[in-house]
């Protein structure tokens, strides 16, 4: 220990300092150098982490880079569709210091801030469409009035294919060659807009092979138009009562095909939709036919959406004379039983080939329902079949159809069958004749 202590106390050539002083100074310098190097490396490492995605503190707002544009609503919808199984979509927005995650669930709050994802013009357009209630809701597209004017050759008379109480229907050809039916709703004492909205709400949501499909609409100023699929074989009224020759092309089998298809379409409106839809104007001119004689129910301009209630009282009776049920005509009480009654009249019309009310007939035959009931009571049911049908149906089949007719037009609305039951009646091989209602004059 003495030798070691003597060495450390010996003087060195470095400024004449003792050795232990030199050692301590050297150690201090080395530690200082290592400290400086550690601080420099630590700062560089933290800076590098910040550039690759360290999250910011909540109180710091990102400085958006000029190269990053606004996130459009369409981009957010796409991001939502491509989100994870929890439907939580993340939109990545770059900025000068890193990447910021924006949860689309917070888009309402971000729309109120300066970093709103919608521009002012886009927001105004969205609010306008929402306020009018006519925005694109997924069932069709919006056409301009100019487009439909061109398609129908300025709505010329040569393109008229039908007329009703609420508008005129034109044949139209779109630029891609697609043929459509354009219904121009007339301003009937201020009701056109109301009826338009009813039809848009009802038909726009309905898809069924026996119902005419709605393709789109037009709403410009006071103009209200609907664009339907075009059915190119006329309607049932034209084939039943038009000049088709001594032998009707509507054979019994074709008429029953039309009857069943129409019943299915009405059953879907009544029982397959919520809220249910009552057509209110079931008649032969509203049954369109394609080239294969498949029926498609058209003209929902008089449709009334029903809620969960069984009936709805309306202040305005709508429909066509001869098809309207007695209780609806007298009280205005509307429910699906009114459509059932009208269907019964339609079925009689297809069986007999006669219109519901014909003043050119003898007194006892003017009203179709009364005449059919009288013929059945007199056991002359087979004479009711349209004489223009070449091959008449078997007696058992005819009796089944006539019984369906009678049940549909029962004066007691509660005894009328539902449209779904009528479908089964028309398709059944065996029909419970004994359980049907008795004819009471």
Task: Give the global pTM.
Answer: 0.63
Question: What phi and psi values does residue 165 have, to the nearest 5 degrees?
Answer: -70, -20
CATH number at residue 275: 1.10.510.10
CATH number at residue 191: 3.30.200.20
Asked whether residue 214 falls in the same domain as residue 352, the answer is no
pLDDT below 70 — which residues of the chain?
Answer: 1-6, 8, 15, 44-140, 164-166, 187-203, 300-319, 429-441
Q: Is 281 a catalytic residue?
A: yes
Separation between Cα atoms, residue 114 and residue 20, nearest integer Å: 67
Asked whether residue 221 falls in the same domain as residue 273, the answer is no
Q: Which of 103, 281, 290, 412 is catalytic?
A: 281
Asked whether residue 296 falls in the same domain as residue 376, the answer is yes
For 273-305, the pLDDT digits (tens) are 877 888 888 999 999 999 999 999 987 645 543
Asked whether residue 254 falls in the same domain as residue 191, the answer is no
Separation between Cα atoms, residue 137 and residue 166, nearest integer Å: 24
Question: What phi and psi values does residue 412 have, to the nearest 5 degrees?
Answer: -85, 105
Query: Residue 200 half-sphere exposure, CB side, CA atoms within 13 Å?
Result: 24
Separation between Cα atoms, residue 385 and residue 235, nearest integer Å: 20
| Domain housing 270 | 236-435
Asked whether residue 211 falls in the same domain as residue 183, the answer is yes
Which residues lie closer than 8 Å to 240 by C-beta, 6 or more apart? 248, 250, 284, 349, 350, 353
Note whether residue 39 is domain-resident: no
Asked whether residue 274 falls in the same domain as residue 370, the answer is yes
pLDDT, residue 367, reads 95
């Amino acid at each position: 220990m003495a030798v070691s202590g003597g060495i450390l106390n010996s003087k060195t050539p470095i400024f004449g300092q003792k050795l232990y002083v030199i050692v301590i100074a050297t150690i201090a310098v080395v530690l200082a150098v290592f400290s400086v190097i550690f601080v420099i490396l630590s700062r560089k490492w933290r800076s590098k982490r910040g550039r690759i995605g360290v999250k910011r503190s909540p109180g710091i707002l990102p400085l958006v880079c000029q190269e990053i544009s606004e996130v459009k609503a369409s981009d957010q919808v796409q991001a939502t569709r491509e989100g994870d199984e929890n439907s939580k979509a993340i939109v990545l927005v770059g900025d000068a210091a890193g990447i910021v995650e924006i949860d689309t669930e917070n888009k309402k709050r971000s729309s109120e801030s300066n970093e709103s994802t919608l521009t002012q013009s886009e927001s105004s357009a969205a609010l306008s469409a929402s306020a009018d209630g006519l925005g694109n809701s997924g069932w069709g597209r919006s056409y301009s009035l100019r487009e439909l004017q061109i398609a129908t050759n300025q709505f010329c008379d040569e393109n008229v294919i039908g007329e009703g109480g609420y508008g005129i229907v034109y044949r139209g050809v779109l630029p891609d060659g697609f043929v459509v039916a354009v219904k121009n709703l007339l301003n009937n004492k201020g009701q056109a807009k109301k009826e338009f909205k009813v039809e848009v709400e009802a038909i726009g949501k309905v898809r069924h092979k026996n119902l005419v499909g709605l393709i789109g609409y037009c709403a410009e100023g006071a103009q209200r138009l609907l664009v339907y699929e075009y059915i190119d074989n006329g309607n049932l009224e034209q084939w039943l009562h038009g000049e088709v020759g001594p032998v009707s092309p509507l054979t019994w089998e074709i008429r029953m095909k039309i009857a069943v298809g129409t019943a299915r379409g009405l059953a879907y409106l009544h029982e397959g939709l919520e809220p249910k839809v009552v057509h209110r104007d079931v008649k032969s001119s509203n049954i369109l036919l394609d080239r294969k004689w498949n029926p498609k129910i058209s003209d929902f301009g008089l449709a009334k959406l029903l809620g969960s209630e069984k009936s709805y009282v309306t202040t305005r009776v709508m429909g066509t004379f001869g098809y309207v049920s007695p209780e609806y005509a007298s009280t205005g009480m509307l429910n699906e039983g009114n459509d059932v009654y009208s269907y019964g009249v339609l079925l009689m019309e297809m069986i007999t080939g006669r219109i519901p009310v014909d003043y050119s007939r003898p007194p006892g035959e003017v009203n179709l329902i009364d005449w059919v009931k009288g013929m059945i009571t007199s056991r002359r049911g087979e004479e009711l079949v349209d004489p223009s049908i070449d091959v008449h149906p078997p007696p058992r089949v005819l009796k089944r159809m006539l019984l369906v007719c009678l049940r549909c037009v029962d004066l007691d609305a509660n005894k009328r069958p539902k449209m779904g039951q009528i479908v089964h009646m028309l398709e059944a091989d065996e029909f419970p004749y004994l359980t049907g209602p008795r004819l009471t004059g």
